[in-house]
Amino acid sequence: MAKNKITLISSLGVKSKNLTGDKITIEEILDKSVMILDYRTGDSKFSRDGTCLTLQIEYEGKVRVIFTGSGVLKEDLETLSKDDFPFTSTIIKVPFKDKQFFFKFT
């Protein structure tokens, strides 16, 4: 009887799609310089368009993640190549109309 070979998942090249880091709110880093390490988009039941942006950043020397439904940030990131990462930016809150706002990179 032949023995079954057990394969380690790490040898198969499987990579997690999850971004690691302590969760913080986008308000905690507004108007502050951060390094954008990576991002991903996924389904959300909370945002208007049904998608959620997960940003992995470095802030104050620590890796953090931010969850947001910001369409402007998402659209800006989707224009970039993965080769453009990491990059440094500041996220600002831009008011428009009555009591509405959006976030953008500067």
pTM: 0.78
Write down the pLDDT at residue 51.
Answer: 84
Give me the tens of pLDDT residue by residue for the chain, a chain 106 residues long. Answer: 556 788 777 777 766 668 999 999 999 999 999 999 999 998 877 666 778 999 999 999 999 999 999 999 999 999 999 899 999 999 999 998 888 999 999 9
Calpha distance 8→13 (Å, rounded): 10
Kindly list the distances between the CA atom of residue 68 and the CA atoms of 8, 13, 50, in Å, as whole numbers in the listed order: 35, 29, 11
Calpha distance 41→68 (Å, rounded): 10
